[in-house]
């Protein structure tokens, strides 16, 4: 007994250690059976929420709400790079971006980490088809996983697009307006109601602007900025893109800047070059290197945001009126001939009031970028039980239906 009493403090310590050890492991095992390790708090919320990141086979990811209930997060995997990044248009990673962008449905999570869970557990894969990866996932559970095709370039010149007949997607995220998640280069957002008598307002605006503005005597009349990918072949292709525009210099002087012209801008960036041309010219020709459905690139939207009137050639596969306000640009396809267009430009040059009519819209619209909305809409779709969608022949939708007109190239 004396020995027992003498060692009682040590025995007590040992017993406490044993109880603590088994109790901790029991609790730890029980916790890991429900979730593994990660709790995040998001300060962007007006209230505190915890994100329970579940890891392991067939384990959902849950978001715990303030009332104690949980909702399952839909997981979105960026499969490959998108022009140097993985997150589409810098949307970001994790759950926060859906909250910060005020998505109506925000219960989603994005990542580029393929090892975060089993591949077949991701709810959606966003696959950028430029530079289509060789490690394309060959099998999946069609009822549980969706593939999203991401593309912002015309399908006419990229060889990767020829492989699409064997690729099957559920949704599309492209510049085309008939995509499931449209991502054109820009939008023109209306910021206040339009006048009830729009034509009368436009005429009044032009006269008022001409009266209150200094003389609009710029050095040049018409400029064109071409910036293809630098090869002479591209310049030849660009010159063949539109016969109408090619014949226009016979009737009016055009100063051509960039890789395919005799003139150059002092600034190195295309955007700065437009700003320099704005100081010298009244009009600028914006020509796309391919005539594809809804294919309008940054050149048009950049010119639209400056004190220049863009001249385009619509009437084919692209309706510029779907992208820009009424009477904010001049569509060459509306004229009977290049000579008629040239005469109209000379008329506007001599009449400041009529020229300024093309700037009426600047008080009512502004250029916006809503590319993040595509990810918001994708999140909502993933939570929609009626979300069944499937493109049995992506080659047909993306290439054949687009009816792109090549500039002296075959595809």
pLDDT digits (tens, 9 = 90+) for 231-245: 344 565 555 445 667
Distances (CA, A) of 403 to 153, 160, 212: 14, 17, 47
CATH 3.40.50.11660 residue ranges of the chain are 189-368
Sign of the four-CA dihedral 242, 245, 249, 255:
negative
In degrees, rounded to 5, the angle at the alpha carbon of residue 230 between the alpha carbons of residues 225 and 234 is: 80
- Lowest mean pLDDT: which of 77-91, 150-164, 266-280? 150-164
Higher confidence at residue 258 or residue 361?
361
pLDDT of residue 324: 94
Burial class, 238, CB count within 10 angstroms (exposed 0-12 / middle 13-18 / buried 19+): buried
Average pLDDT of the chain, as a whole number: 77
- Of the candidates 226, 367, 199, 236, the one whose C-alpha atom is nearest the C-alpha of residue 288 is 226
Mean pLDDT of 113-138: 80
Mean pLDDT of 319-326: 92
The pTM assigned to this predicted structure is: 0.78
Rounded CA-CA distance 350/344 in Å is 10
pLDDT of residue 27: 41
Higher confidence at residue 141 or residue 46?
141
pLDDT band of 42, cuts 50, 70, 90: very low
Which two structure tokens, joined as six digits, stand for 174? 């492209």
How many residues are listed for the chain in this entry?
411
pLDDT of residue 175: 92
Top-ranked range on mean pLDDT: pick from 34-48, 249-263, 318-332: 318-332
pLDDT band of 408, cuts 50, 70, 90: very low
- Lowest mean pLDDT: which of 46-60, 217-231, 242-256, 331-345? 46-60
- Using one digit for the tens of pLDDT, what is the confidence trace for 206-263? 999 999 887 666 767 787 876 544 334 456 555 544 566 778 888 988 888 877 777 8
Mean pLDDT of 38-44: 34
Higher confidence at residue 19 or residue 181?
181
Mean pLDDT of 197-212: 94
- Of the candidates 375, 384, 389, the one whose C-alpha atom is nearest the C-alpha of residue 76 is 375
pLDDT of residue 34: 31
Mean pLDDT of 97-124: 89
Q: Which residues pair with 109 in a beta bridge?
A: 75
pLDDT of residue 230: 36
Q: What are the E-state strand segments in 79-202?
A: 108-111, 124-128, 146-151, 171-174, 187-190
Multiple choice CATH, 189-368, 3.30.1180.20, 3.40.190.10, 3.40.50.11660, 3.40.50.300 = 3.40.50.11660
Q: By percentage, how much of the chain surpasses pLDDT 90?
A: 29
Higher confidence at residue 117 or residue 183?
183
pLDDT band of 311, cuts 50, 70, 90: very high
pLDDT band of 141, cuts 50, 70, 90: low
- Of the candidates 15, 37, 134, the one whose C-alpha atom is nearest the C-alpha of residue 79 is 134
pLDDT of residue 410: 36
- Using one digit for the tens of pLDDT, what is the confidence trace for 374-395? 999 999 999 986 766 788 888 8
pLDDT band of 38, cuts 50, 70, 90: very low
pLDDT of residue 96: 87
């Amino acid at each position: 007994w004396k020995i027992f009493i003498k060692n009682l403090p040590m025995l007590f310590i040992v017993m406490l250690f044993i109880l603590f050890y088994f109790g901790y492991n029991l609790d730890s095992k029980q916790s890991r059976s429900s979730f593994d390790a990660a709790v995040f708090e998001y300060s962007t919320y007006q209230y505190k929420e915890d994100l329970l990141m579940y890891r392991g086979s067939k384990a959902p990811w849950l978001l715990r709400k303030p009332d104690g209930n949980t909702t399952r997060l839909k997981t979105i995997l960026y499969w490959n790079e998108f022009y140097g990044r993985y997150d589409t248009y810098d949307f970001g990673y994790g759950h926060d971006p859906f909250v910060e962008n005020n998505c109506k449905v925000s219960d989603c999570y994005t990542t580029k980490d393929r090892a975060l869970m089993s591949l077949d557990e991701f709810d959606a894969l966003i696959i950028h088809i430029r530079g289509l990866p060789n490690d394309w996932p060959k099998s999946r559970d069609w009822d549980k996983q969706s593939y999203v095709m991401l593309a912002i370039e015309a399908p006419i010149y990229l060889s990767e697009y020829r492989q699409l007949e064997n690729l099957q997607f559920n949704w599309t995220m492209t510049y085309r307006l008939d995509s499931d998640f449209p991502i054109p280069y820009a939008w023109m957002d209306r910021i206040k109601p339009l006048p009830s008598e729009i034509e009368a307002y436009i005429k009044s605006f032009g006269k008022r602007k001409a009266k209150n503005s200094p003389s609009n005597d710029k050095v040049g009349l018409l400029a064109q900025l071409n910036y293809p990918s630098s090869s002479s072949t591209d310049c030849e292709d660009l010159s063949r893109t539109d016969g109408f525009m090619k014949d226009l210099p016979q009737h009016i002087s055009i100063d051509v800047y960039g890789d395919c012209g005799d003139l150059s801008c002092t600034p190195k960036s295309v955007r700065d070059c437009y700003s320099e041309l704005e100081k010298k010219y009244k009009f600028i020709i914006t020509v796309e290197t391919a005539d594809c459905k809804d294919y309008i690139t940054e050149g048009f939207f950049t010119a639209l945001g400056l004190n220049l009137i863009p001249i385009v050639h619509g009437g084919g596969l692209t309706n510029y009126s779907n992208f820009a306000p009424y009477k904010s640009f001049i569509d060459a396809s509306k004229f009977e001939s290049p000579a008629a267009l040239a005469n109209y430009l000379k008329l506007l040059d001599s009449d400041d009031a009529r020229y300024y009519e093309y700037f009426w819209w600047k008080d009512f619209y502004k250029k916006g970028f809503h590319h993040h909305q595509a990810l918001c809409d994708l999140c909502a779709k993933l939570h929609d039980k009626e979300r069944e969608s499937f493109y049995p022949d992506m080659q047909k939708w993306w290439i054949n239906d687009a009816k792109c007109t090549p500039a002296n190239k075959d595809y």
